Amino acid sequence: MTLAQTSPSRRAEQDLVKGEFAFTADDFRHLAAMLHADAGIALVEAKANLVYSRLAKRLRKLGLDSFKAYCALVASPAGAEERQNMLAALTTNVTRFFREDHHFGHLKAQVLPNLIARVRQGGRARIWSAGCSSGQEPYSIALTLLSLMPDAGRFDIKILATDIDPNVIAEGRQGYYSAETCTPIANDLLTRWFQATGREGWTVGPELRQLVSFRELNLMGNWPMRGQFDVIFCRNVAIYFEEETQSRIWARFTAQLSPGGSLYIGHSERISGSAADLLSTDGLTTYRLRGAGA
């Protein structure tokens, strides 16, 4: 009899993945429910192998012998810190400098010139990289800004970079990247705004660092930011949420955009729900809130 043919109750107790630790469908359901409750991320059972391999390291480290014991730990008050580690282990942090580079071309040609003119006249401008991972996205935004406005640090133009995972926030703050990670950065920008760190890599320089503030923030929770944003990047984050959560998050971003503000989303994401009526698009996953110019 195959796993698919067994009764639901027996199936829940059988191992989903064969390996060092017992990992049943019940264990998977518990972990998926916690990840959904904490981060809005929807995990399907087809991801069982991935969950197993990412968390097996945690079980080994903690000296646990089964996922059942791990589930009990992360569900208990004593396991609050480990629950954070679980979240960090299960989020996907893949990113790159200038990923989906047409967004940066659009930002440079269509959006930043107005914002720069405004801040040069004494106004303010705010940009948010939501789900920023280890910092490559917000630093790419800052580099695009510096390429047009090398003295940006003297004006009231700032980039907020947030993520749920404290480990990637720490990496972004540290601002050290290997030479290979830096290959998408144009050489003139790299040598001007980074500092060579040995032969191995580059560290963000002071002018670049000054433009970006990193904060831990769960998009499912409250957003403490008071002001509105002229530009929001939220790319390759909502793809892990189910449809209803996506619609809710697009509506919240729309409410947080200033009139005429821009929203950039990932290439495989689409705006759904009530936000779709409030945003116009150029068809390249770049949206603008209908209203006055930015």
Ligand X SMILES: C[S@@+](CC[C@H](N)C(=O)[O-])C[C@H]1O[C@@H](n2cnc3c(N)ncnc32)[C@H](O)[C@@H]1O
Q: Which residues bind ligand X (CB under 6 A)?
A: 39-41, 91-95, 99, 131-133, 137, 163-165, 168, 218-220, 235-237, 240, 266
Q: Closest distance between ligand X and the C-beta of residue 293, in Å? A: 26
Active-site pick, 11, 54, 192, 252: 54
Coil/strand/helix, residue 239:
helix
What does the alpha-carbon distance between residue 142 and residue 123 come to, in Å, rounded to a whole number? Answer: 18
**Residue 49 corresponds to which tokens in the numbers above?**
């192998």
What does the alpha-carbon distance between residue 275 and residue 227 come to, in Å, rounded to a whole number? Answer: 19
Active-site pick, 163, 165, 230, 288: 163
Instruction: Give the helix ranges, DSSP H, for 40-181.
Output: 48-62, 67-75, 80-90, 102-106, 112-120, 136-148, 166-174
Please identify, using beta-carbon distances, which residue of 119 and 235 lies nearer to ligand X: 235
Q: Closest distance between ligand X and the C-beta of residue 88, in Å? A: 8
Please identify, using beta-carbon distances, which residue of 24 and 134 lies nearer to ligand X: 134
Q: Are 64 and 22 in contact (CB under 8 A)?
A: no
Please identify, using beta-carbon distances, which residue of 95 and 254 lies nearer to ligand X: 95
What does the alpha-carbon distance between residue 251 and residue 247 come to, in Å, rounded to a whole number? Answer: 6
Q: Closest distance between ligand X and the C-beta of residue 196, in Å? A: 24
Please identify, using beta-carbon distances, which residue of 68 and 108 lies nearer to ligand X: 108
Please identify, using beta-carbon distances, which residue of 119 and 219 lies nearer to ligand X: 219
Please compute Rg for the chain using Cα positions: 21
Count Cβ neighbours within 10 Å for each residue of 38-52 and write b for 16 or more, e otherwise. bbbbbbeeeebeebb
Find all residues with CB under 8 Å of 191, minimum gap 6, and list them: none
| Nearest in space to 179 (alpha carbons), one of 209, 163, 199, 208 | 199
Q: Are 231 and 262 in contact (CB under 8 A)?
A: yes
For residue 54, indicate whether it is catalytic.
yes
Q: Closest distance between ligand X and the C-beta of residue 231, in Å? A: 14
Q: Closest distance between ligand X and the C-beta of residue 232, in Å? A: 11
For residue 163, indicate whether it is catalytic.
yes
Catalytic residues: 54, 163
